[in-house]
A and B are shown apart, each in its own frame.
Chain A
Amino acid sequence: MPGEAPNPNDQGRPRKRVSLIEIAGLFGFIGITSFGGGLTAYIRRLVVGQKQWLTDEEFLPGLALVQILPGANVAGLSIYIGNHLRGPLGAVVALTSILIPPFILVCILGFLYFHAGKTTDTRAVLAGITATACGLMASMVFEAGQKAIRGVFDIVLILLTFALVRFAHLHVPYVILIMAPLAIWWHRPRPVQEGAVESTKP
């Protein structure tokens, strides 16, 4: 990680100020060229690797921040990076630039869908696309589960959360209000001798 880009805190080596237009250009590009998952890795490659606007030491705390907070990681990252480069205005420019192109495109697709969504041809195409989308979602369950399950109680938490949505028909904010305290209590920081039980923790 270290040594790839100059440290911004180095005295006398101020980095070039990134213009708002450049921010809009890059985040607009990310917005229309990002497909499917792995977006945070893509943003890191462009912002840290290619453009060298941030070092990994600056980028990674931002990634950790948006992963712990609610909301789309992509939106959070653009706020963090934009703010880091040019303050609040940079954050607004980055967020709107990454959202506007996909927004326009998805609205066009939406109108097309409501115009032609009921024809036999469209239905046939959508049957394949929705089935595939379902497969993609299922793969996310596996990936998330792989990271989440470190003990039996994690499985209990997963199933309880699922049941509150599926059978109790609770809305997600209420599910979070019930499950987050329980999960946080279970995973609370413990003294070392107790913590030995949870030796699987990284």
Chain B
Amino acid sequence: MIKTLLQLAGLFSALSISAFGGGKVVLPSMHQASVGEYHWMSNQQFVDLFSISMAAPGPSMMVVSLVGLKACLPYGTAVALLGALIATIAMFLPSSILVFVVSKFWDEWKESPWRHTVERAMMPVSTGLILAATWIIAKTSIHSVPTALMGLVALALMLFTKINPVLMMGAAGVISWTFLR
């Protein structure tokens, strides 16, 4: 139990300061660690939990709370909540401290040409990481013609309309419950 809690703290604090471009870029590591290395959950469970966190309000990084919850679920409900808490703190604390510290020097740095360079340079790197994250989600979530169609419709609606993504997910849940049961 202590070992799992330490693993959660170590994993997510390392990912916290690596999440250039937001929480989604570290999703491949979250998946690899919780499914492949620590065997906290199955592939399907990981993708389910990620989707639930996207449908729920709040920052999309809340998937870390669910990973912590599941990792510690075998030790009982109370430990599961503790695991969720530790995972969440580990994910948000290091990057928050960084923001706090850097904001003190920000006025001096913001005119430097390197600021633009770093911002510009990290864009393709985060794009590649989001692509890898999408790949992982797609491998498990797109397994039939209907699911492929729903994924494509969601992509098109996101790119070409301003429909709220949570509405889309709700509608997709109802549609697939109606037709795929």
Contact = CB atoms under 8 A, between A and B. Distances in A.
Contacts of A80: 99, 103
A113 B41 CA distance: 13
B176 A127 contact: yes
Given A180-B125, A183-B122, A189 B117 contact: yes
User: On chain A, which size bracket covers the interface?
Assistant: 35 or more
Interface of B: 14-26, 28-29, 32-33, 45, 47-62, 65-66, 69-70, 73, 77, 81, 84-85, 88, 92, 94-96, 98-100, 102-103, 106-107, 110, 113-135, 137-138, 140-142, 146-148, 150-159, 164-166, 168-169, 172-177, 180-181
Nearest to B159: A139
A132 B28 contact: no
Interface stretch (A15-23, A46-54, A66-74): A66-74
28 contacts: A31-B57, A68-B119, A70-B19, A70-B95, A72-B19, A83-B103, A101-B57, A102-B58, A105-B56, A105-B58, A110-B49, A110-B69, A125-B176, A126-B48, A127-B141, A130-B51, A132-B51, A132-B172, A135-B152, A137-B133, A137-B134, A137-B137, A140-B130, A162-B129, A162-B131, A173-B14, A180-B125, A189-B117
Nearest to B66: A110
A140 B134 CA distance: 9
Contacts of B156: 135
Given A131-B176, A141-B134, A107 B128 contact: no
A8 interface: no
Contacts of A95: 92, 96
Nearest to B170: A129
A160 B151 CA distance: 25
B151 A135 contact: yes
B151 A176 contact: no
Contact of B155 (A127, A135, A179): A135
B143 to A, nearest CB: 8
Given A66-B99, A136-B168, A172-B15, 10 more contacts: A35-B165, A68-B122, A71-B23, A71-B95, A102-B58, A102-B62, A130-B141, A135-B153, A144-B130, A189-B117
A71 B19 contact: yes
B154 A136 contact: yes
Given A39-B59, A106-B56, A106-B62, A130 B69 contact: no
Contact of A166 (B53, B98, B121, B132): B132
The 5 closest A-B pairs by CB, nearest first: A102-B58, A71-B95, A135-B154, A161-B128, A128-B176
Among B55, B123, B180, chain A packs the most CB atoms within 10 A around the CB of B123
A201 B120 CA distance: 9
B98 A69 contact: yes
A62 interface: yes
